[in-house]
Amino acid sequence: EHPFTMASQSWRCSLCDYALNPYDVLNCDMCGESNQPSPSAENQISPSSPQAHSGSTGARSQHSRTRVEVEPQLPHGDKCGYDVEIFVDQNRVSDHICSICQCVFNEPMCIGCDMGHVFCKQCLDEFFKDNESKPCPLDQQLVQKTNVTPIKYVERLINSLQVVCPLQYQQTAVSNDSNGNDDVKVNIDCQWRGSLCDMHTHTREQCGLFVLQCSFCGVEEQRRHIGKHIDMCDERPIPCPLHCSESIKQRLMDAHIDDECIANQLLAMGFPDNYVKRAIKVYKKNYGQLNSRSVEVVTEIIIRLQEKDQSKRKIKNNNSDEPEQTIPGNKKEDENSEKQDKISVAYAMKEAGNKLFKEDKFQLALQEYEKAVSVISNIDETKEIINLRCALANNLALVSHKMKNWSDVVLWCQCALANDDKNLKAYFRWSEALLMTKEYEQAIQVLYRGKQVVSDSSRLDEQMQRIESLRYRINDQIGFSNLVR
């Protein structure tokens, strides 16, 4: 039986004062016997025979000589553990130092040697990186990576110790000294103090010295300065001050206002600021993001909004003798206003499509017409809506005819006739599409159907004669080729 005392969280021999490892089964360096001390014995395991451990003088001198001669070669390691200086009571951690990184244990792990030496988990990961079987850094005993085990109670002990903020030792500031000299580095203090287990939460979520990265430009700043940096960051998108509803980087804002801002262009045309803001809002709600072609559409919306407001003022002046009754938040009036906004957008898109068609930009015109159709697709049918849908369908059929998309021509002609079954243009273009696909019988049937409902069918008669003559000519050619064959 060996006498052991526990002092400062370490087990030491009561005779030779030699520090023994407290983390695993203890082996006496003098006689080789093992003992597992119990801290519940009031820090002292009373020996039944103190001389049993002391042994002979030769054994004691051999023990001392072994300690002098063995100088273990420690691997070089970065700081994987905690700096001793952050602990309030540094004496309590003096016996919990990793021999590789020379720091307080971070996730202490027993390497599995007979002496039970303990190191940081990250240090051992780096130690066993190139080979999973290596000699222990302290006693050169061959150990396996698979034998490494965590020491949980030591980890809990270290995590419960009081520490100060570690960032205050990493940060410096430049100030003037008493003699007026510049560039004098002084420490920046953080007054936080708490347990080690709460330190990470403090540094990452609360400490003003923690370095954050700007999400716009990537520059790193301390948390206490990051807000000011973001406000001044040239890469941060900000809304256009002219209410064009575009977010532009601060460094590009001046160029945007001078060259690209649609609101600035409309204001330069003389339109009032309130109408420009309303028109852009209506456009974005029903149409989407602004682009280079949006000026014409927004201009048409502004004109229609002005006309609508003028008509309202005239009606109000005519009924000026009657008391004015306003119902705040009237749902019906809001719905009517939204409906009128959508109609204004559809008319503006139609006009933009007409201009693109005249410039032979058929694909862009097709897109404008299709978006106009989608804007008014969910509006209750009125005479104005029906006429607008029919006009848009005829325009889409015409553009599809120019692009030689014959199936689309037939589709849009049918849509136009669904809104107005007496539409002459729809019958004519439908027959044209069937003629180009050599479906002569169906084309004649479409024209015959149109003649029954259209009042002035002279144009349809001419188209029917043309198709019939073409059909007879083709049939004659087929009959002649068969005869020759």
Span 76-112, pLDDT tens digits:
445 688 999 899 998 988 889 998 999 999 999 999 8
3-class secondary structure, 259: helix
- pLDDT given for residue 106 in this prediction: 92
Confidence tier at 316 by pLDDT (50, 70, 90): low
- pLDDT given for residue 16 in this prediction: 55
Mean pLDDT of 382-407: 88
Retrieve residue 109's tokens. 């792990």
> What's the longest Cα–Cα distance across the chain?
134
Confidence tier at 327 by pLDDT (50, 70, 90): very low
- C-beta of residue 49 within 8 angstroms of C-beta of residue 6: no
CA-based torsion, 94, 97, 103, 104: positive or negative? negative
3-class secondary structure, 298: helix
Retrieve residue 212's tokens. 């954050």
Residue 228 has pLDDT above 80, yes or no: yes
Spatial neighbors of 3 by CB under 8 A, at least 6 apart, are 13, 14, 15, 44, 45, 46, 47, 50, 53
Residue 13 has pLDDT above 50, yes or no: yes
3-class secondary structure, 258: helix
Mean pLDDT of 271-285: 81
Confidence tier at 117 by pLDDT (50, 70, 90): very high
Confidence (pTM): 0.45
**How far, in whole angstroms, is CA 86 from its chain's centroid?**
36
How far is Cα 129 from Cα 299, in angstroms, rounded to an integer?
69
Residue 372 has pLDDT above 90, yes or no: no
285-290 contacts: CB < 8 A, separation 24 or more?
285/341, 286/341, 286/342, 286/345, 286/375, 287/345, 287/349, 287/371, 287/375, 290/244, 290/245, 290/246, 290/262
- C-beta of residue 350 within 8 angstroms of C-beta of residue 377: no
- pLDDT given for residue 169 in this prediction: 66
Mean pLDDT of 391-402: 90
Confidence tier at 7 by pLDDT (50, 70, 90): very low
What are the phi and psi torsion angles at 373 (to 5°)?
-65, -40
Task: Tell the residue number behind the tokens 């244990």, with chain if given.
Answer: 105
- pLDDT given for residue 38 in this prediction: 40
Mean pLDDT of 112-132: 91
- pLDDT given for residue 149 in this prediction: 93
Q: Average per-residue pLDDT in the chain?
A: 74
Nearest to 127 by CA among 80, 84, 82, 83: 80
Residue 181 has pLDDT above 70, yes or no: no
Inter-CA distances, 23 with 151, 207, 275, 318, 403, Å: 7, 35, 79, 98, 84
Mean pLDDT of 286-293: 71
Mean pLDDT of 293-321: 73
Residue 279 has pLDDT above 60, yes or no: yes
- pLDDT given for residue 150 in this prediction: 93
Nearest to 86 by CA among 212, 202, 213: 202
Confidence tier at 178 by pLDDT (50, 70, 90): very low
- pLDDT given for residue 304 in this prediction: 79
**Tens digits of per-residue pLDDT, 442-469?**
888 888 888 888 877 788 888 888 888 8
- pLDDT given for residue 136 in this prediction: 92
